[in-house]
Amino acid sequence: MSNWRFHGAERLAVANDRGFTLIETLVTMALTAMIAGVLWQAMQQITRIERMLQGSGVNGQLNLVRREWLRDLIQAALVEQIGVPRRFIGDARHLSLASSETLAMPGLGGGPLHIHFETDAATRRHRLMVEVKSSAAMASSEKSETLELLAWAGKEGRLRYLGADGVWIDQWPNPNPNFVPTGDPERFVELKLSALDRRGKTLAEKTERIGQTWQWSPVARKVADNRLLPGEKREIHFALNAPAETDSVVLAVRHIRLTEENAQYMKQDAAHAEKPYAQKIARIEAHYPFSRVIYRETLKLGSGLRTIASAAELERLSAAQQGR
């Protein structure tokens, strides 16, 4: 019995010393190769992600700088001037302007800018470009320099413009603005600066007009239009030769709805209107206010005292000018 147990233990020990079989070795090698392949692919993916993150960090900083520069260019757009061709013109994909931001840039000298979108048909990538016309190029036939501000894939960009009324539009200037004054083309705003003596007698006066001017005969046509755009600010300078006896200067602003000249034309044609209206047109000055005083300020030259008319006083002045 003891010998059997000894030989059995020996056979067991010999069996345990044989190691892995061929199949076990092949399976182990296959698993090791698969794990190594997965780890290698993961390492490559991590490397690509790190490179992308590094590149996106740099591009993100550049894009931020470019956005700030573009914002500065538009915010520093030069103010439009009367009698000078409009320079700030744009639609959904193009914008032309002159910006004071370029005055400090070497070689640009405040030259005009053209901002526009481009789309690559092959890659479907979009780019926001700015075309700069340098001062040297303006004086010669040199081409403008075009710079890429932003590039992206996906939805294309567009430009929009915020009006003074808080409404966003796709074109500037607004093709359908609410000009001031509005309404009938005969309406206009009159600014009159008058020099008065101590008794209130007018010694000299100067008048400026804001509105449309039409020629009605032989063919109706608009000959002038200097109305205000919504939110527009305008400075008007008066050159008034005030005599030495001038005691005060008065600035009066009136909204003219109907001129006396046009009222006379209407009276002449009153007979052609229907009877109920013909009588009113014949005495139109009694039924229709020709104008309203909307502002009046008086400056006493001796004391420098300024007086601005109240709303009640403006109503009184307007009533006194009924039919004028």
Tens of pLDDT, residues 94-109: 999 888 776 555 444 5
Rounded to an integer, the average pLDDT of 144-151 is: 79
Band (pLDDT 50/70/90 cuts) for residue 76 is confident
Tell me how far apart the alpha carbons of residues 234 and 81 are, in angstroms, rounded to a whole number. 9
- Of residues 72 and 200, more confidence is placed in 200
Give the distance, in angstroms, between the CA of residue 138 and the centroid of all CA atoms in the same chain: 26
| Residue 156, C-beta contacts closer than 8 angstroms, at least 6 positions apart | 117, 119, 126
Q: Is the pLDDT of residue 20 over 60?
A: no
User: What whole-number distance in Å separates Cα of residue 113 and Cα of residue 99?
Assistant: 8
Task: Please tell me which residue, 71 or 231, carries the higher pLDDT value.
Answer: 71
Q: Is the pLDDT of residue 84 over 70?
A: no
In 3D, which of 276, 279, 189, 174 has the Cα closest to residue 234? 189
Q: What is the 3-state secondary structure (H, E, C) of 207-229?
A: EEEEEEEEECCCCCEEEEECCEC
187 membership: H or E segment, kind and range: none
Residue 290 pLDDT = 87
What phi and psi values does residue 286 have, to the nearest 5 degrees? -90, -15
Residue 169 reports pLDDT greater than 80 = yes
- Asked if 166 contacts 86 with a C-beta cutoff of 8 angstroms, the reply is no
Q: Which two tokens stand for residue 265?
A: 């034309």
Amino acid letter, residue 97: L
Average confidence (pLDDT) over 193-222: 90
pLDDT in tens, 105-129: 544 455 678 899 999 888 889 999 8
Q: Is 93 left (phi over 0), alpha (psi -120 to 50) or beta?
A: alpha
| Residue 51 confidence class, pLDDT cut points 50, 70, 90 | low
How far, in Å, CA of 205 to CA of 239, rounded? 10
Lowest-confidence region among 74-83, 273-282, 293-302: 74-83
pTM for the model:
0.49
Which has the higher per-residue pLDDT, 27 or 82? 27
What's the mean pLDDT when you consider all of the chain?
Answer: 78
Task: Tell me: pLDDT of 306 over 70.
Answer: yes
State yes or no: pLDDT of 1 exceeds 70. no
For the segment 63-92, the average pLDDT, to the nearest whole number, is 76
Q: For residues 90 and 61, what is the distance between their CA atoms, to the nearest angstrom? A: 28
Which is more confidently placed, 57 or 298? Answer: 298
In the chain, the percentage of residues whose pLDDT exceeds 70 is 71
For range 67-96, the mean pLDDT: 79
* Contact in structure between 100 and 76 (CB atoms under 8 Å): yes
Q: Using the 8-state DSSP alphabet, how is residue 265 labeled?
A: H
Q: Give me the helices (H) in the chain, please.
A: 2-16, 22-75, 135-139, 260-268, 275-282, 284-287, 311-320
